[in-house]
Structure formats: C-alpha cells, structure tokens
Structure 1
Amino acid sequence: MFRSIPTLWKKWRASRSAGQQLDALLASADADAPYAERSDWLIELAHWIHRRGKLDADAASEPTPDAPQRTPPEHVRVRYLLHVLDRNPAWKANVGAMVRKLLRDSDSISLLCDAGMPVHSGLLGALVERVQAQLIPPAPNRRDLAALVTLMFPAAHDPEWIATLPADLLKRLQALIAEPAPAPAIAENVGSAEAAQNAQTAQATPAARLPGDFSLDLLTALHNLTCQISSTGLSPTVRSRLSSDDARVAVEKLPFFRLTRALLAVENARDAGEPARLLQEVSWLRLLLDDCRKATDDVFAHLYRHGVRVDTVFQVERMRMRIVRAERLLDAWMAADDAPTQARLVADLISANQRSQSVSHLVRSNFALLSRKVVELSADTGEHYIARDRAEYLTMLRMAAGGGLVTAVTVYVKFGVTGAHLPSMIEGLFAGINYAASFLVMHFCHFSLATKQPAMTAPTLARELDGTNVAAGRARFVSSVVALIRTQAAAVLGNVLLVFPACLAIQLACGWLFHVNLISPAKAHATLQSFSLLGPTPLYAALTGVLLWASSLFAGWADNWFVLHRVEDALAWNRRLRMTLGASGAARLARFCRVNAAGVWGNLALGMLLGLGPAIVSAVAFHFEVRHVTLSAGSIGVALGVLGTRTLGSGELWWAVAGVASMAVLNVTVSFALALHMALRSRDLGRRDVRPLMRAFWRRVRRHPMSLVWPIRRGELREDNE
C-alpha cells in the first residue's frame, strides 16, 4: 500500500492541467512575503515554464505572429503565462511587484561581473569548487541574483530560448517588470523651454528607460569591471610583456591607464544630460576597451614566444573575458529600450553562469589551454622531422639508419639487463637508463628514432591549420601531411633495415668467433612468442604510443621552462662563464643549451617512461610490456641468429614479424593521433572543420599515390593548389 502512494501522487499531479497548476501558482504570489518565499515562488514559476505537457485551448488560440515555424515549448508557456496575467489584472500587478521587489533585494553585481569568470588559477581548486557546487546547490534565501539564476535556469538550452524570445513577448515582459510610471509633476516656476530640455534629457538618458535600479546596477558593474581590468593591465606581469627588450612603454600611454577615467567621463556626461557628449564619451570608452583587447593579444603572443606561466595565462585570460563582458554591459546600458538586446544579455549571463559551474567545461577549457601551450612550444622542433623534398628525404633515411645502428647496441644491453633477473623496479630503472643513454646518443649524433617523431610533428601541422580556410592553406596543409607520412615511412624503414641485420650480424659473429649465444635458445623462442600478433602485442604497442606522446609533453615543458626563466640570457651573461670561456664562448654555450634543452629532457623522459612505465603499470594495474618497433625488430634479429635458418619455416617467426608490423603502425598512429587531437583542440576546431581537410587529403592521395613513399616535384602538384 505504501509503495503505491508516490505513484498515486504522480498521477494526481499529472491529472491537473498546466493551466490549473499555473492558476494555483499565480494565486499564491505574495509581494510582501519574505525573500526566501518570493525567490522560491519564482523558481517554481521557472520550473513550470520548463515542464512539458499540453496547455489549455486558450494557448492554442493565442496568436503568434512573430514566432518562428518551430516554436520552442518555453515560448508557448511564456505566452500563455502573459495571457493569463492579462485576464487577471490583480494577479498581474501582484506578480510584477513581486518580481521588482525581488530584483531590488538581490545582489545583481555577482551575476553581472562574476558569472563565468574563473576564480582559481589551478585546475584542482576549480574542480573541487565546481564539484562542491554540483553536490550542494545554493539555497533560495541567498540574496544573490547569480544563485537565483542558477536555480531557475539549470537546463543547457535555457540561454537559447531566452535569446530567441519574440519581440512581442519581450515587450510584454518588459511592461510587466517595469516600474509604474509616476504622475507628471507640474512646476509653476519652470519655463516651457526648460521643461522641454528636461524631457529631452530624460529621453536620451539610459537610466530613465530601465525599470528599477537595473541601470544603476549596470553602471556599477561597469565600474567594477573596468577597475579590475585596469588593475590587471597595469600589473608588472602584463606591463613587462607589453614592452620590448629595447624600449619600455610609458604607463600613461597604455589603454588600461585611461580606462577608469573614460568611464567616469561617461557617467558625468549622463548626469549632465548631454546626449551628444554622452555618445562621444561612450565611443571613446569602446575604443579603449578594444585597445585593451589588442593588448591582451600582444601579451599572449609574448607568452608563446618567451614561455608560458600558468598563473599569468590565467590572469590575462580572465582580463580578456572581463573586457568582453564590459562591452556587452555597455551595449545593454546604452540600449535600455531595446528588449532583444536585454534578452541577449540575460541569455549570455545565464550561459556564463552555467559554464562557471560545469565540470566538463572546466576540463575542456583547461585541456585546450594546455594544448595551445604544448603545441606552440613544440612546433619549431617538429619542423625538423618533416622531409619536404628529396634531399631532406634522403637525409632522413641516413639519420634513421644511424638510429638503427645505435638501437642494435641498446637491444643487447636490454637482454643483459633482463637476464640479470633483478627486481622489477630495479630492472625498469636500468632499462630506462639504457634507453635514455641510447636516445641521447642519437640526439647528439643527429640520428633519428622513427616513433619519436609523430608527437613532435603534429604541433607543426597545427600551426598550419590557421590558414586552412582558403584553398592555398588547405593545399599547404595537405602537402605537410603527405610529407609527414612519407617521412615516418622513411624513418621506420631506415631504423628497421639497419637494426635487424646489425643485431643478426652481431649474434652470428659471436657464434662464429666464440661459439656462444648472447641469449639462450629458450629466451629466443620466448621473445618471438611474445611478439606474436595473436597475443597482447597490439595493445602493448598502442600503450607504447601513449608513452611516446607523453614524452613530447615533457619536452615541451622543458623548453617552456628554459625560455620562461631566460636561462639562455643568464648563461650568456654569467660573470664566471664569461671570464672562463670569454663572451663568445659563453654565448655559444648558452645557445647550445637552448637548442638542446627540449631534446635532452624529452629523450631522458622517453627512456625512463619506456623503462619504468611497464614496471609501475604492472605493479598497480595489469601486466604491461613495451612494444617498440625498432627495439622489437632488433630482438627478432638476435633470436633468428640464435635459432638459425630452421626458424624461417616456422609460424612462430612470421607471427612475430606480423606483430612488429602492427607495432610500426600503432606506435606511430597512436602517438600522432594524440598529438594531432591536442593540436586541433588548441585551435578549437571540430569535425566540421576537419572534413574539408580530409577530402583534400584523399584527393591528393588519389592523384599522386607515390607521394606517400617518395617526394615528387612541386610542379606536379600545381593543379592541387588551384
């Protein structure tokens, strides 16, 4: 019996029509009720607007001349609400008074200024705050308009239907909320000319058109925003990045310095009742806000050239958001009689308030910021790994061949480390040192490891995404993608074609000269079986691609740290270094450190990730082994040298070869896909923007399939650039 009570309650509520629910709600409105009860009543009214269901016949007969063909359900409900209030003047007066009193008693500055503005510069603090807001919603008794908006408009589509309200509904809503017009006072001592001037001033002044104190709230919010913008813009963090190394920009010439005075001039012109002067001062204020936005672009350009600091980016990004908010509030203040402008402002504020409480939006925005940071810092490095002509292609083959020879030594050292049967963490540490030393040798000898390149080349492609809105830009981007694929194929081919015969030759030489095997036959069989395509090899190869991509993040961080702290200048001007090496020697040392900082740290990180990563993952999650195409190809060469030619007829060998082929595809594909995804997010591009690029790419492949494996002359590609 007790289980059926909730069901009966739901059926009873459903049996009541939407009109009956609204009548009961409007009849209970009380303008003299406490603030909590009034706000709770308004929240219930908003929830009634959100509900789905059929309205009475009166709603269907209500004319909708300005409504679009597909009217949102909320528009129908608002129209029916106003229709009911028009038929009941007492309810209408009571509801209007209640809403006006509620708006007067609420603090609107928090909504106008702070909604959507980030508070924490760190991801963890902002994440904790938003999760807490999701778990503990604000109470209706808070005299905060932002809290009231949060409770009234929780749906993601609320800003859309509010911004698209028809003009006739907006006028009726504005009339409902507007203050009753006072009776005109007649003064005997005031002449007709002065009365006409006062009337003209009242018409030109935005404050006379807005209901209640909303105009004053807008002006107060503008003062708040301009003060915060000026404070951030005049801080040393921003000023130092607006000046060049050779000249310093005078403070009085910065737009941030003149911003607050420009707003005061706007307020004085409004109080003086001079419409022409008011328009002039507002135009000057808009110009200064535009100059402030351009200054933030200059700061971001400086950051991406000279290193990114998280808290600085946070401050500048928040200042840019405040500039945009100030411009929108200024538009609303000047267009007090324009109901669509007011509706768009309310929709923007609701959308910003929803974003400020969304965990997913926080994660997306922070990931986009991190993507932009890593992409900008890695783009120059990645340019060296793309062979665009035949000379660069042959150079890449030689570099990859050298990397294959170095990897042959790495393979044998790896077998020595694993043969010692050390504890997993110790074994992983020594394996990481082995890999890191090998990668550093490749770096300083200008050799190449194939699978390390994709994570560094994707940021270079991202830089070319900026011009893909035109045909020439798309052609340039496609040429870079084709060159990248061709370069990766050359790098993998050069690595494998050298590491396999080198490892095989070393084993054969040791067997012929010393009659010993560097690994046991049992170990050789186990190695081939572990590389089989039928086992977990594809999964391990994909996870290895993730580690390869992660190393590029470390390289980008190291490059950013080196540039941000101006280590090159510190070394070049170090007194002891200049006395020891001379001025030119210190400068060369500083330049050497600057050029190799990202490469050294990236190779160290990659080596330790490949060595310690499997040990850590196996200890805390599941068994994991590194499957790297170059190292695995060398291991097959060692195993083949131990087992002899009889292995050529076994499926064990060929399944291992197929597994190594899958490693080549997955190592490159996964690391490049992750880096390219980060690059696309840094440019805020979606699937719709990528589709024209994919069509252009496949068109190039169909016309010139050989360009994927061998560079063709630029003259043959002229037709694709048209």
Structure 2
Amino acid sequence: MNNKVNSHTNLMEQVFEQYAHHDDAPRLIADLVAQVRPAKPEQTDSAIKSIQALCYLLSTDAERARQLRSAILLLLSAYNPLSLFLIARHSVFTGFFAEMRRRIAHKILPEAIDGDYLVDLFAIFFTKTTDELWVNTVPDDVWSQLIKVMRFDLADKELILSCQQNLFAASQVLSYRTAALGLEPELLRNYPELEQHSSPFIMQQAELAEFMGAQDVDNAHTDIKHILVMLDQCKAIVAKVRRNSALTGTSIHLTQLLQRILRQIERLEELLSILHCFQHGQSADAVIVKLFKDLVYSECHKNDLHEYWQESMEVMAVRVTENASRAGEHYITENRSEYFALMRSAMGAGVIIALMAMFKIVLAKQHFAPLAEAIFFSLNYGIGFMLIHILHFTVATKQPAMTAAAIAATIDNASDGKTKDMHNLVTTVTNTMRSQAVAIFGNVVVAIPVAMLLSWAVLYLSGHHFVTPEKAHKLLSEIHPFTSGAFFYAAIAGVCLFLSGLIAGYHDNLAVYNKIPQRLKAIKWLQRLLGVERLARVAHYVEHNLGALAGNFYFGCLLGGMGAFGLLLGLPIDIRHIAFSSAFVGFASFGLEFMLTWQMVAYAALGLALIGLGNLMVSFGLALYVAMKSRKVRFNGWRLLLRNLGSRLNQHPAEFIFPPRDLMPEALVNETEPEV
C-alpha cells in the first residue's frame, strides 16, 4: 500500500476505534461516509482509493469487519427501514402540484430528522446533494468488493433473519401499492381491458402472497418467476398506454401515475431478486449495489424541482409537440402547387393583418387606461388571428413553432447518420426555408399596399390623413435597426410565438383526452338549437381546430398585453412583429405622402429584416429545442448537415426560393452521402 492509502487507512482506523467501546451505528456509518467522500464530487478516483483503503482495512482486521457488518445489519433491522425500501427514485403518492409545493417548502425549511427511521438517517449519511455523483460514478465492482470483505456470511443469524423479514414486508407493501395503482380510474379509462380480463396488477399480488406463504424452497423458486412474469405484463401495459397517448391524449395525472407504477415495479423486482438470492445462497451483490445507488440518488434528489418538473412534463411534451408536428407538415411545401397555395394563403392573411394594424392605431388614439388598452389590443390581435385561421390563411411567423416539431421528427430519423435519412433531413430543411420565405413574402407584399390603400380610403372619405406626420415618424422610429430595440422586441414576439405553439398542442391534447367533441354532441340544448347533423360538424371542427384557435387567440393576447406588462413592471418590454411592422410602414409612408429619403427607406427595410429574423430565430430555436428534448434526440451530425446544406445551396440555389419543377433525381441522394 502506498502512503496515500495508508493515510486513508489510518483515518478510518481512528473512526472504528472511536466507536469500538460504544455502539452508535448511525454515527459510525456517517463518519465512514465522510472519510470516503471526495473533496469534489467529480474526483471519483479519490473515492475509489478511499473505498479500497477501507476494503484493505476490513480484509486484514476481522474485528473491524464485524463492527461495520453489525452496524449495517442493525440499521437494516432495528431502525425502521421499511420506508427507505419503499422510496423509488424519490417518487411520492401526492398530486403534481402538491409535490411541487412540498419540494419548494422543504428547500426553504428542511424537514425534521427522526432518528428512529432509516430513511431519515440517510440524510445524515449523505449530507450533500452532490453525493449521488461520486456514489454512482464509483464502479459497481468496487462497491461489490466492499460488500464481500464485510463477510455477511459470518453475521448473526437473528440479524439476518430480521433484515429478510423487513425485505418481505417492504415487498408486500410495494405489491399492494402496485395493485392499487393498477385499479386507478385514470389507468382503467386508458386501458379498459384491465376490467375485462384478469389484471396482472392483481395477479402479481396474489402470486406474491403465495410466495411469502410457501415453505418449500422449490415452490418459492417457482413462485418468484411467476411474480416476475406478472410484473413484466404490468410494464407492457404501461408501455402500451404511453404509446396510445399519441392518439388518445394524456394528462399530468396519467403521466405521473405511469411513472409511479414503473418505479414501484422496478423496486419490487430488486427486493424480490435479493430475497431470491438469499434463499438460494447466491450472491446478490450486483442487485444490492444497484439498490444502494438508487437510494442515494433518491436522497440527494428528494427536493429537486427541476428534475421532477422535467420528468413529469416529458410525456406531455411529446404529445404537445406531436400535435405541432402534424400541423407543421402542412406548412412545408414540396411542389409548386403547394408553394403557390401557401403564397395565396399568406397574401390573404396580409389583408387581415393590415386591418388589424389599422384597428390598433385607432385604439391607440383613444388613449385608454393601460389595462383597458391591453385588453382591447389583445382582443384585436386574438380575434384577428382566429379569423385568419378560420379563413385558412397563413401568418408567416406562426410557421416556425409548428415546423420545428416536424424537423425534429426528421432529425430523430437521421440521428443514426444513414444517407437516406440525412438526405430527407436536408430536403426537409430546404423545403421549410423556402416555405417560410414565400409566407413572409405573401404577408409583407400585401400588408404594405393594403395599408396604403386603407390610408387613401380614410383620406378620401374624411379629407384627413389616417396617420399624422408625427405618428408616421414615430412608427418608422420604432423599427429603426440601430436607435430602437426592434430586434430585442422581435425576440420577445418570438417567445410569444413559441408559447402559442405549445398552447395549441396543449389544447389539441385536451380536446382528445377529455373527449370534448363527443361531449359537445351529447349536449341536449345544442342538439335542439343546431340539429344533430350540424352539431356533429361543429364537434368535428372543434376536434381538429380547437388547438389552433386557442393558440391563435392566446398569441394575440400575448402580443396585445406585452406592452402593458412592461409598463406594469417598469421594464422596456414590447413586441415587434414582421407582418404588423410592414403594415405600419405602409401607413407611415402614405402619411408622409411618400416623401421618404433613401436612408429612411433603407433603415425601414433593414429594420423589417431584423424583426423578421428575430421572430423566426427565437420561435424556431425554442420550438426545435423542446421538440428534440421531448423526443430525447441527440443529433451529432450538425457539421454534416451544414455541409450538405451548403452543397445543396451551391448546386441548386434556386430551390431555397422556388420549388423544382420535378422531384429531385435519385442521383442527388449520393451528394449528401456522409464521408466514411
């Protein structure tokens, strides 16, 4: 042994000597963990050397091995370990928001420690939230070696029997809990077959009861296999419900319920495996090490807000982005007919946007109180965006939040680096950029002249300009690329666009999961008012458009209320939207009777370009990030993707602006082949 190991050994020897004449198992374990704990959690080598030094000490000193062995068995038998075994990755049996409140409260004011319960003593052993880092990084064979040198085969039989009884009791409780979760109405609603056939959630508990009551070893050996089969069937049902959520929707309650079931089953399998090994004289070191690491992880993350939120939102995020993905596919054009259809749709939206911009200027002239003004602005935007959707028009900036999910799905397929999938990804990105460009063109090229036409109509009918020269200069100054915060405000609008995409996906999920169309058709007074057939058409429309309508309305509310929100906080918060800013340029140009210098025209054009860039970059970036995180996509081919996009741009630059006459020849697939 080198000097460093000898130093570790001497320190641990002092710890054992301190508790040699009086039994204090919790303090002995806590002091030994403190000796093993590295100065920094990432210093795994230091922890490994400390554990190896402890192994050397125990292997050369049988009394120290007995002392540590007895302390651990005493903890597992006399300190109420049942609640510790039942913790499955810090899962709890409360609602989502109740658990969030609990974690926040315990972060501020930690819970009291009851020394009679082993689950509370774990907080004394592992006092730092970073302890799980080095505990889990230390190789399993190092921990297994520590278990071996403690020689549990020489332990007191009564202590061993008491520990086994506690494991049996914990297994029984876990089995009861799993059976109860399998009877939850939320699960039965999403998997009604559980009521029609023998439920594996119930059968596993019956099998466990037989296993615990069996006296013959052979029968016990057979019964534990039956239990594991039933538990596998339970996991299969959970997996099927999760897959079906793409069609039937999901909820936070269902997501949390499925997570609980899987964690309880996993813990039950671990405890049964340990019991099985004990009864057959086999080594359970691997399972014990895994259980130990899980328990440490649970202790260190018991009040972790970020991870709890992330795990609870995982399935919901998949559902929301799947809805956005299906909607986003309609915004990606592949041929000329779709391309011109999108252009016409965007041009139609440009007319309504010019009218919405006009109404906003009229409302602003009234100088309402900030709250009333925010409400009127929100209604103007929200109703206008809903009208655009009802008329099947397209707002260009609504595309990125939708198309990002579709691109994430393509990235998911291309993440293995296959040539065909990479070619499809390049094609999807090219089609998306082209579609986005033509949508912006359609919005802007119509919004500006329509705004001018409206200004002329007001001048013709009233004899006065709709926008005074002072207001016109103010409108132009608000989009100045250098002296205003146009790009920053455009980024805020991009965040609103991203949020509207999530809201749309959430309401689509809400419509499907809560069966809103079916419930609408069951309302008697609506049947009498509209008739059964017309009500069925309304319900069908709601089923397929509730998310889009809600997303558009809330997007309008976000845009309309952002200025008042900034005023309330005393912060420079506002929004800039490419389509509305274009309409304002049209109003300002007519108000100044087109007496614009070339510098003013250049600044206005550059300002509009920056606003459009800010809208698109932020909304697309956030949506793509969420879509990829929800799918757990890890794409490492960004350089290859950029290289292939550059190659496509160099060889076929027109495709980024205008679709090809025919589909791309198959020979071009070879151009995107990754280098080996």
Q: TM-score normalized by structure 1?
A: 0.83
1:306 equivalenced with 2:306 (yes/no): no
**SS of 1:166 mapped into structure 2:** helix
Rounded Cα–Cα distance in structure 1 between residues aligned with 2:213 and 2:415: 46
Relative to 1, partners in 2 of residues 1:107 and 1:473: Cα closer, same or farther, differing over 3 Å?
farther
- 1:334-349 → structure 2 map (5 Å cutoff): 334-336=276-278, 337-349=283-295
1:565 match: 514
In structure 2, which of residues 16, 20, 24 is the aligned counterpart of residue 26 of structure 1?
Answer: 16
Structure 2 contact 333–432 (Cα < 8 Å) conserved: yes
2:75 match: 102
In structure 1, which of residues 45, 51, 60 is the aligned counterpart of residue 32 of structure 2?
Answer: 45
1:231 match: 180
2:190 match: 241
Rounded Cα–Cα distance in structure 2 between residues aligned with 1:328 and 1:462: 36
**SS of 1:458 mapped into structure 2:** helix
Rounded Cα–Cα distance in structure 2 between residues aligned with 1:121 and 1:460: 35
Cα drift, residue 675 of structure 1: 1.4
2:352 match: 406
Cα drift, residue 550 of structure 1: 1.7
2:119 match: 146
Relative to 1, partners in 2 of residues 1:96 and 1:167: Cα closer, same or farther, differing over 3 Å?
closer
Structure 2 contact 65–149 (Cα < 8 Å) conserved: no
CA RMSD of aligned residues (A): 3.0
In structure 1, which of residues 152, 176, 180 is the aligned counterpart of residue 155 of structure 2?
Answer: 180
Tell me the amino acid that sits aligned with residue 46 of structure 1.
V
- 1:189-208 → structure 2 map (5 Å cutoff): none
Tell me the amino acid that sits aligned with residue 29 of structure 1.
Y
In structure 2, which of residues 93, 98, 113 is the aligned counterpart of residue 125 of structure 1?
Answer: 98
- 1:597-608 → structure 2 map (5 Å cutoff): 597-608=546-557
- 1:209-288 → structure 2 map (5 Å cutoff): 211-243=160-192, 250-269=195-214, 271-274=215-218, 277-288=219-230
Tell me the amino acid that sits aligned with residue 404 of structure 2.
A
Structure 1 contact 404–496 (Cα < 8 Å) conserved: yes
Rounded Cα–Cα distance in structure 1 between residues aligned with 2:346 and 2:506: 26
Tell me the amino acid that sits aligned with residue 42 of structure 1.
I
Rounded Cα–Cα distance in structure 2 between residues aligned with 1:141 and 1:157: 26
**SS of 1:647 mapped into structure 2:** coil
2:432 match: 484
Rounded Cα–Cα distance in structure 2 between residues aligned with 1:351 and 1:87: 31
- 1:679-690 → structure 2 map (5 Å cutoff): 679-685=627-633, 689-690=634-635
Structure 1 contact 121–310 (Cα < 8 Å) conserved: no
Structure 2 contact 492–574 (Cα < 8 Å) conserved: no
Higher mean displacement: 454-463 or 562-571: 454-463
1:454 match: 400
1:416 equivalenced with 2:362 (yes/no): yes
**SS of 1:691 mapped into structure 2:** coil
Structure 1 contact 39–141 (Cα < 8 Å) conserved: no
Structure 2 contact 490–576 (Cα < 8 Å) conserved: yes
1:520 equivalenced with 2:468 (yes/no): yes
Relative to 1, partners in 2 of residues 1:513 and 1:128: Cα closer, same or farther, differing over 3 Å?
closer
1:532 equivalenced with 2:508 (yes/no): no
Cα drift, residue 611 of structure 1: 1.0
Tell me the amino acid that sits aligned with residue 261 of structure 1.
A
Aligned residues: 651
Cα drift, residue 568 of structure 1: 1.0
Tell me the amino acid that sits aligned with residue 637 of structure 2.
P
Tell me the amino acid that sits aligned with residue 363 of structure 2.
V
Cα drift, residue 629 of structure 1: 0.3
Rounded Cα–Cα distance in structure 2 between residues aligned with 1:314 and 1:137: 24
1:719 match: 670
Q: Deviations over 1:174-210 (max 9, x none)?
A: 41x454377xxxxxxxxxxxxxxxxxxxxxxxxx9x9
Cα drift, residue 450 of structure 1: 0.8
1:676 equivalenced with 2:627 (yes/no): no
Cα drift, residue 494 of structure 1: 0.8
1:393 match: 339
Cα drift, residue 613 of structure 1: 2.0
In structure 2, which of residues 559, 578, 582 is the aligned counterpart of residue 633 of structure 1?
Answer: 582
Tell me the amino acid that sits aligned with residue 331 of structure 1.
S
Cα drift, residue 468 of structure 1: 3.5
Structure 1 contact 115–146 (Cα < 8 Å) conserved: no
- 1:600-619 → structure 2 map (5 Å cutoff): 600-619=549-568
Cα drift, residue 515 of structure 1: 4.5
Structure 2 contact 51–142 (Cα < 8 Å) conserved: no
**SS of 2:261 mapped into structure 1:** helix
2:56 match: 83
**SS of 2:597 mapped into structure 1:** helix
Rounded Cα–Cα distance in structure 1 between residues aligned with 2:306 and 2:514: 33
Q: Deviations over 1:88-141 (max 9, x none)?
A: 444443333333223321222222222424326555433343344445556665
Higher mean displacement: 40-49 or 343-352: 343-352
- 1:499-518 → structure 2 map (5 Å cutoff): 499-508=447-456, 510-511=458-459, 515-518=463-466
Structure 2 contact 256–312 (Cα < 8 Å) conserved: no
**SS of 1:448 mapped into structure 2:** coil
2:386 match: 440
Structure 2 contact 44–137 (Cα < 8 Å) conserved: no
Q: Which runs of 5+ in 1 are unaligned?
A: 1-13, 54-69, 183-207
Rounded Cα–Cα distance in structure 2 between residues aligned with 1:181 and 1:714: 77
Q: Deviations over 1:467-516 (max 9, x none)?
A: 33442444434433332222211111110111112212333455467653
Q: Deviations over 1:255-277 (max 9, x none)?
A: 212111222333345x2121xx4
Relative to 1, partners in 2 of residues 1:120 and 1:343: Cα closer, same or farther, differing over 3 Å?
closer
2:270 match: 328
Cα drift, residue 605 of structure 1: 1.0
Cα drift, residue 601 of structure 1: 1.7
Rounded Cα–Cα distance in structure 2 between residues aligned with 1:577 and 1:128: 41
Q: TM-score normalized by structure 2?
A: 0.88
Tell me the amino acid that sits aligned with residue 655 of structure 1.
Y
Rounded Cα–Cα distance in structure 1 between residues aligned with 2:65 and 2:136: 26
In structure 2, which of residues 239, 249, 260 is the aligned counterpart of residue 318 of structure 1?
Answer: 260
- 1:33-72 → structure 2 map (5 Å cutoff): 33=23, 37-51=24-38, 72=45
Cα drift, residue 532 of structure 1: 0.6
When Rg is computed on C-alpha atoms for both structures, the one with the higher figure is 1
1:590 match: 539
Q: Which runs of 5+ in 2 are unaligned?
A: none
Structure 2 contact 44–138 (Cα < 8 Å) conserved: no
Relative to 1, partners in 2 of residues 1:86 and 1:607: Cα closer, same or farther, differing over 3 Å?
closer
**SS of 1:646 mapped into structure 2:** coil
Percent identity over the alignment is 23
Structure 1 contact 640–647 (Cα < 8 Å) conserved: yes
1:157 match: 133
Higher mean displacement: 128-137 or 314-323: 128-137
Structure 1 contact 104–213 (Cα < 8 Å) conserved: yes
1:660 match: 608
**SS of 1:384 mapped into structure 2:** helix
Relative to 1, partners in 2 of residues 1:475 and 1:348: Cα closer, same or farther, differing over 3 Å?
farther
Q: Deviations over 1:1-42 (max 9, x none)?
A: xxxxxxxxxxxxx9x954543332111114753xxx431231
Relative to 1, partners in 2 of residues 1:95 and 1:579: Cα closer, same or farther, differing over 3 Å?
closer
Structure 1 contact 29–95 (Cα < 8 Å) conserved: no
Higher mean displacement: 579-588 or 402-411: 579-588
